[in-house]
Amino acid sequence: MIMRRMAFGLGVCMLFAGISLAQTTAVTGQVIGEDGKPLKDAVVKITRTDIRGNYVVKTNKKGEYYYGGLPIGKYDISVELNGREMDSLRGIRTGTGEPKVFNFDLFKIKQKNDALQKAAATGQLTAEQQRELSPEARAALEKQAKERQAQMAKDKAVNDAFNAGMQAFEAKQFDAAIESFKKAAEANTIPTNEHVILGRLAESFTGLAATKTGAERDAANAQALETWAKVITVAPSDPGYRNNYALALARAGKLPEAQEELQKAATLDPQGGGRYYFNLGALLVNSGQNAAASQAFKKAIELTPSYAEAYFQLGNCLMADAKLTPDGKTIPPPGAKEAYEEYLKQAPNGPSAAGAQGMLDFIAAQIQTTYKNPNAPEVKKAKKK
């Protein structure tokens, strides 16, 4: 009985001795985020690679992590954020003694990657950067370089054609400008450039129409309208394009459509609304449509009451319908006198001040006229005694 107890005790001692031989280790470290600050709640995965084993721990508010009780072996350690691996260390061998320290600095990695991408975009990789690239990454960069060279060739063709168009346009060689801008539009592959090229093409058609008459003028105006419509489709929120499209519509005699476009321009740019209708009024004056021009200037004043020049032009339009009384007095249409007075009130030293004052003086003055009946007998002067 005594011998059995001794044997049992010996077995227990041997068992404990076997357990004490199982050595463990620990890993610890800190994770710095891409913003350069300690990263809280980053997931640190510890994966044993010599035999199966997976361990996970999260960083605390100081960005620190610790995992103890790991069997000694070979591991991969990685950091994940929102399910995406941000950095990793491969083939780590642990051993006895103090915990092994493995830090992760995502801020430095981001800086390095940003520099690499910038260098890759310009094709100016250093020798060290090239060595760091994987074969897949190197192949991708070579492909990007070829695509970039092809794009640069296209961009040069677009720029050359566009610049040639601008030179022709400024020289009022509208046929040549149209051909160059068409070439630029066909070669262009950058969406943000499209409205700029088409806008210049539309202006060239408008310029060409001004040099033509009859059917040729109508054809150029029609092409201008068609091109402006494309510009509006590409850049619908640009009030300047809406204004130009409206003027093209007005030149084509489509006043309701022009006013609709101007209203859209004024809605997009309330502060510039008066200017858009003023432009329409000026266009209508030049084409002899005073009544329609008056309405445009009134709309400009409604949208921008401080638009002094609109008052002066309104007065001029209204005065086209002024009448004379039998005794030679000018009767101005309603609103004309007030328009000139408002101009002088807002711009007493403005460019049209002298003209406005002259019109007010004209309205106020009596026009002296005489009338002689050619059939009346001539009055003889009395002789002096």
Final residue in a domain of this structure, among 236, 265, 291 = 236
H helix or E strand, kind and range, residue 376: none
Residue 165 and residue 224 share a domain? yes
Asked if residue 25 is part of any domain, the answer here is yes
Exposure letters 124-143 (e unless 16+ CB within 10 A, then b): ebeeeeeeeeeeeeeeebee
Asked if residue 66 is part of any domain, the answer here is yes
Q: Provide the CATH number for the domain around residue 186.
A: 1.25.40
Asked if residue 217 is part of any domain, the answer here is yes
Strand partners, 104: 31
Rounded CA gap, 284 and 192, in Å? 33
Asked if residue 172 is part of any domain, the answer here is yes
Q: Provide the CATH number for the domain around residue 69.
A: 2.60.40.10
Residue 229 and residue 143 share a domain? yes
The pLDDT tens digits of the residues spanning 113-170 come to 777 766 665 556 666 656 666 666 666 666 766 766 666 667 888 889 999 999 999 9
- Identify residue 5 by its one-letter amino acid code: R
Rounded CA gap, 278 and 282, in Å? 6
Residue 57 and residue 93 share a domain? yes
H, E, C per residue of 335-356: CHHHHHHHHHHHCCCCCCHHHH
* Residue-level pLDDT at 287: 77
Final residue in a domain of this structure, among 201, 236, 271 = 236
Asked if residue 220 is part of any domain, the answer here is yes
Taking a C-beta distance cutoff of 8 angstroms, is the pair 39, 103 a contact? no
Residue 177 and residue 98 share a domain? no
Taking a C-beta distance cutoff of 8 angstroms, is the pair 277, 285 a contact? no
Q: Is 232 exposed, middle or buried (0-12, 13-18, 19+ CB in 10 A)?
A: buried
Asked if residue 309 is part of any domain, the answer here is no
Residue 154 and residue 98 share a domain? no
Asked if residue 379 is part of any domain, the answer here is no
In the predicted model, is pLDDT for residue 1 greater than 50?
no
Q: If pLDDT is split at 50, 70 and 90, which confidence band does 330 have?
A: confident
211 phi, psi to nearest 5 deg: -100, 0
What domain count does the chain have? 2
Query: Which residue, among 281, 272, 364, has the nearest Cα to 316 in the 3D structure?
Result: 281
The pLDDT tens digits of the residues spanning 224-274 come to 999 999 999 999 999 989 989 988 888 888 888 888 888 888 889 888 888
Q: Which residue has the tokens 């995965």?
A: 45
Q: At what angle do helices 239-251 and 214-234 cross, to 10 degrees?
A: 160
- The CA-based diameter of the chain, rounded to the nearest angstrom, is 190
- Domain boundaries, position 156: 134-236
Q: How far is CA 304 from the centre of its chain?
A: 26
Task: Give SS3 for 310.
Answer: helix
Asked if residue 177 is part of any domain, the answer here is yes
Q: Return contacts of 211-219, CB within 8 angstroms, 24+ apart.
A: 211/172, 211/174
